[in-house]
Structure 1
Amino acid sequence: MAIGAKVGIKYTADACLNCENCLVGGESSCTSAKISGYMTPGTFQQYCITSAQYATKIPDSLDLAEAAPLMCGGVSVYAGLKRSGVQLGDWVVVSGAGGGLGHLAIQYARAMGARVVAIDAGSKNEFCRTLGADEFVDYSKFDGDGLAQHIHKVTSGGAKVALICAASGKAYSQAPHWLCFRGCIIALGIPGESVGQALSIFQFVSLELKLIGVKTGSRLEVKECLDIAARGLVKTKLQLRKLEELESVFHEMHAGKVIGRVVLDLS
């Protein structure tokens, strides 16, 4: 790339590109990976360092602030959907649909031809629908098996994919009940509690379900997700804030007040 080109830095700042993991597209699990901000300088700074061979070129038609969340959140949801094998007309349930990951997941699922059931708090209803969600479900309105029954009703038999963006153990324990035969759960959100005992192995076997863990995407998947956004099919909903507001931003995040993403202006 030429000096002065617009580039993005991913969760993985550098990878060897030669180990077994890298060769199959698992660069974020490279045996000698360098994680952005942890092993490389530049987090919340005006300048940062990354490998030139591992930086990703940003399409000229994409605004830098809009592209920034796609380098991590965007590519993660896109990679999960792609690896799930979602097809035209499939139903995708997005848990945590109004958040930073979820609002991008709705749009990428729609861009891939899927229909979307968005799950979140009732206050996110209008926001999720403006992003293209076909159905919205306020999880607080359902007890017991009610949520699963409702999803099966609106999807006429269950969803093909459940994309868990929320860091909720309850969402993981409920997700198998949302799916149809040979459905797939995509694990992105990481709950603080263990959910292993809550998952029914009998249900996984009887319905032949799949569980996919996704850390983030490869260089190819980043390029693909940026190309989709450059075509206008995905647009990041963001607040552009100054670096001096960083502490306030974290407080708002913990309070659940952030809709979409916050991008820091370091200029």
Structure 2
Amino acid sequence: MKAIILKKQGDISQLELKDLPIPSPGKDEVLVKVNSIGINPTDIYARENVALDYIFNGESPKILGWDIAGDIVELGEGVSDFAVGNAVFGLLNFPTSSSPGHAKGYAEYVVARVKDIALKPESISYQQAAAAPLAALTTWQPLNKVKIKSGDRVLITAAGGGVGHLAIQIAKSFGAYVIAIASGSKKELLMELGADEFIDYQTTNFLDILQPVDYVIEALRDEHIEQTIKVLKQGGNLLSLWNHIEGTKWEVLAKEKNVNIFYNAVISSGTDIKALAHLMSKGILRPHVSKTFKLEEMALAHQEMETNHTTGKIVVSLQ
């Protein structure tokens, strides 16, 4: 099979197309012929980061990629919930702070744990399915846990990005009132996806016009964290994807406002992927794929992700 290996930590020049043996599924695993691969900022950080040794736990070759969609072609021992020919998708074996994890998704075939996948709804494409898992679970898992309720006011920064455009739809599925912040060029799409209000950050400071909100989904880095804490209600909730508040200059402000802080700690979960599949089958969740690349163009896909101006998701298509 063809796969993209990472020769060593570094820039896109370290990504290389190789011919490798097709892997075999073990107990409670399936072999998936990959149709589409979702590309995420995590892929870039893993490629550049010394955490590679932790993620792969010394294994070689190093193959990135966690979001996939494709068709099951072989069952491992003990698998009864899926069949050969099933179209599936999922976030495979994603690493956590307590457990290394790699899926080796940048390949024509990948072994998937059955506990990480769900059936792909017939109503969505493989590309949409591959675009969803990590970005959608980033919002779905914490919001489902805290039980956001109808009428809660939710502010989403970087709302036009991979996480942000899905966060709009997920928050709306709970009945929230959603305020999206992005560049003006993304307004039409984000309003179509369900945003109740749109703020163009290039022309407007949201602190000047917004009443306090119940939740902020903060998808930007340091420069906006103080503003997002200020716009929260007393006792409000901050889901921070990148910024850790403890030990920073923002900790005092957060404590003064009794802000509840949740961090981006996504885990692989077939149960949650199934919940996303249900939302997608009902048309409630619609991943927006802005650009696609071929497997041999993986370096270009990474380069596009590194611009930080992508609308929706980038997907690598093998078909």
1:262 aligns with 2:314: yes
Structure 2 CA distance for aligned equivalents of residues 150 and 45 of structure 1: 48
1:72 correspondence with 2:134: yes
Residue 118 (structure 2) aligns with: 56
Alignment counterpart, residue 301 of structure 2, candidates 237, 240, 249:
249
Conserved 8 A contact 2:119-2:277: no
Q: CA deviation at 1:82?
A: 1.8
* Residues 81 and 55 of structure 1: CA distance in aligned 2, closer, same or farther (over 3 Å): same
Determine the C-alpha separation between the residues in 2 that align with 1:187 and 1:256: 17
Query: What is the one-letter code of the residue matched to 1:235?
Result: R
User: Residue by residue, what CA displacement relative to the aligned partner does 1:90-136 show, whole Å, maximum 9, x if unpaired?
Assistant: 11101110001101111111121111111122322222222111111
TM-score, L = length of structure 1: 0.78
User: In the aligned structure 2, how far is the partner of 1:29 from the partner of 1:241?
Assistant: 28
> How many Å apart are 1:32 and its aligned residue?
4.5
Q: Which has the higher strand share?
A: 2
Asked if 1 retains the 8 angstrom alpha-carbon contact of 2:121 and 2:280, the reply is no
Name the TM-score, length of structure 2 as normaliser.
0.67
How many residue pairs match? The answer is 236
- Does 49-58 or 80-89 show the bigger shift? 49-58
Give the deviation of 1:53 after TM superposition. Answer: 4.0
Percent pairwise identity: 25
Structural RMSD (CA): 2.4
User: Any idea what the Cα deviations from partners look like across 1:42-95, whole Å, max 9, x if unmatched?
Assistant: 332111122234433323433221111221111211112223331101111011
Specify every segment of 5 or more residues in structure 2 that has no aligned partner in the other structure, as ranges. Answer: 1-81
1:195 positional shift: 8.0
**1:205 alignment partner, one of 252, 255, 266:** 255
Equivalent residue for 2:34? none
- Residue 207 of structure 2 aligns with an amino acid whose one-letter code is A
CA pair 253-178 structure 1, distance change in 2 beyond 3 A:
same
Q: Which residue number in structure 2 is paired with residue 163 of structure 1?
A: 217
Q: What is the one-letter code of the residue matched to 2:264?
A: V
Whole-Å separation in 2 of the counterparts to 1:53 and 1:127? 34
Give the structure with the larger helix fraction.
1
Q: Partners of 1:235 and 1:208 in 2: how far apart?
A: 34
Specify the code of the residue in structure 1 equivalent to 2:206. L
Higher Cα radius of gyration: 2
Structure 2 matches for 1:68-107, cutoff 5 A?
68-107=130-169
1:226 aligns with 2:284: no
* Matching residue of 2:102: 35
* Equivalent position SS for 1:12: coil
Equivalent pair of 1:181/1:209 in contact (CA under 8 Å): yes
Match of 2:175 in 1: 113
1:258/1:225 CA distance change after superposition, 3 Å? same
Shift of 1:160: 0.7
Counterparts of 1:116 and 1:196 in 2: how far apart (Å)?
30
